[in-house]
Amino acid sequence: MAECGCGNKDGGAGGPFSKGKELVEFVYNAHDGSVRDQPISQGAIAIECQGCKASFTLETYLGKCPECGGVHAVAPMNPVADNVQFAGVDFTLPQ
């Protein structure tokens, strides 16, 4: 197992074991934002959008559904389909 070392010490309630929007925000901010655009080390994950139910492939730790733009993320420590979290239909990433 590769150790990410993210821990849960950077303030805020989010952490690698958060759910939903908190997990998405954690991944978004992890390592000063350097994690979210990286390809998932174990390989892309085929998922179903938790917003619109479209099938798509999550290739990076944080990704958007191509159909509805719903933001999904997975913790780098355990990037498997069961751990993919959906930020919710009203969530948009800070730009």
User: By CB under 5 A, is residue 63 in contact with Zn ion?
Assistant: no
User: By CB under 5 A, is residue 65 in contact with Zn ion?
Assistant: yes
Q: Exactly one of 38, 68, 88, 91 binds Zn ion (CB under 5 A); which one? A: 68
User: By CB under 5 A, is residue 64 in contact with Zn ion?
Assistant: no
* Angle in degrees, CA 89, 54, 29, rounded to 5: 50
- Rule CB under 5 A: which of 19-58 touch Zn ion? 49, 51-52, 54
Specify whether the backbone of 41 is left (phi greater than 0), alpha (psi in -120 to 50) or beta: alpha
Q: Which stretch binds Zn ion (CB under 5 A): 30-38, 39-47, 65-73, 86-94?
A: 65-73
User: How many Å apart are CA 22 and CA 70, to the nearest integer?
Assistant: 14
User: How many Å apart are CA 15 and CA 41, to the nearest integer?
Assistant: 19
Q: State the residues that interact with Zn ion by CB under 5 A.
A: 49, 51-52, 54, 65, 67-68, 70
